[in-house]
């Protein structure tokens, strides 16, 4: 079973940054990052990503005039997201098959840290040891919450934005059986 370590937002942010670094045109990036294109890589079975999903995504993007940059991107994707990082860290196809609740696809509790620190350090900046103790307690709390959520012991926080990529209707599912 897949264990989701990362979150969809940060995965897509890393993908987008690489596209920008490669100077791929903004309109092509906008298309690639729109729902039902790049994010479908996270829901297709891992063993189908290279053989079926990447060609599908490429068919949806206008690579003309920037073929070298796109080839560089797909080499980066294969090396980074298929080899350096286990696909089970960012692909949720196994979780979908087991009907796991993946509505909350984020691991970023940082947004709440400002309030946490304001409540703990009313008299300005703390010394580094105090700051580290407070941060460690908060990190342990977040790790426990994520673990309990992953094990279905608790519901995901209700304040999180729902990210629900789906296999597009025009995806050639018949090819997956071959």
What's the confidence (pLDDT) of residue 109?
53
Give CA–CA dist 107/2, Å, rounded.
Answer: 15
Burial of 34 (0-12, 13-18, 19+ CB in 10 A): exposed
Query: What value does the mean pLDDT take over residues 150-164?
Result: 67
Classify residue 36: in a domain, yes or no.
yes
The pTM for the full model equals 0.60
pLDDT 10s digits, 42-92:
888 889 889 988 999 999 998 999 999 999 999 999 999 999 988 888 887
What's the confidence (pLDDT) of residue 102?
56
Domain containing 46 equals: 8-95+163-177
Classify residue 112: in a domain, yes or no.
no
Query: What value does the mean pLDDT take over residues 102-116?
Result: 55
- Bigger pLDDT: 39 or 172? 39
Burial of 73 (0-12, 13-18, 19+ CB in 10 A): buried
Classify residue 130: in a domain, yes or no.
no
Domain count within the chain: 1
Give whichever of 24-28, 42-46, 115-119, 149-153 has the largest mean pLDDT: 24-28
Banded pLDDT at 97 (limits 50, 70, 90) = low
Give CA–CA dist 24/38, Å, rounded.
Answer: 15
Residue ranges in 34-125 assigned as alpha helix (H): 54-60, 67-79, 93-97, 113-120
Residues 6+ apart with CB under 8 A from 16: 29, 33
Instruction: Tell me the average pLDDT of the chain.
Output: 79
C-alpha distances in Å from residue 177, one per residue of 41, 51, 172: 18, 12, 10
What's the confidence (pLDDT) of residue 105?
47
pLDDT 10s digits, 18-33:
999 999 999 999 999 9
Residues 6+ apart with CB under 8 A from 96: 43, 102
What's the confidence (pLDDT) of residue 100?
60
Classify residue 69: in a domain, yes or no.
yes
pLDDT for residue 132 is more than 90: no
Burial of 81 (0-12, 13-18, 19+ CB in 10 A): buried
- Bigger pLDDT: 140 or 108? 140
């Amino acid at each position: 079973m897949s264990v989701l370590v990362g979150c969809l937002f940060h995965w897509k942010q890393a993908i987008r940054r690489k596209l920008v670094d490669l100077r791929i045109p903004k309109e092509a990036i906008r298309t690639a990052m729109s729902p039902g294109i790049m994010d479908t890589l996270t829901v297709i079975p891992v063993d189908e990503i290279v053989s079926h999903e990447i060609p599908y995504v490429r068919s949806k993007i206008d690579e003309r005039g920037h073929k070298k940059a796109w080839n560089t991107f797909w080499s980066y994707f294969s090396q980074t997201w298929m080899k350096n990082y286990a696909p089970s860290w960012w692909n949720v196809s196994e979780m979908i098959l087991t009907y796991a609740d993946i509505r909350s696809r984020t691991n970023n509790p940082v947004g709440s840290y400002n309030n946490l620190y304001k409540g703990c350090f009313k008299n300005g900046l703390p010394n580094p040891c105090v700051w580290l103790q407070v941060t460690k307690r908060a990190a342990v709390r977040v790790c426990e919450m994520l673990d309990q959520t992953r094990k279905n012991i608790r519901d995901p926080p209700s304040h999180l934005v729902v990210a629900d990529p789906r296999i597009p209707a025009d995806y050639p599912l018949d090819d997956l059986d071959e």
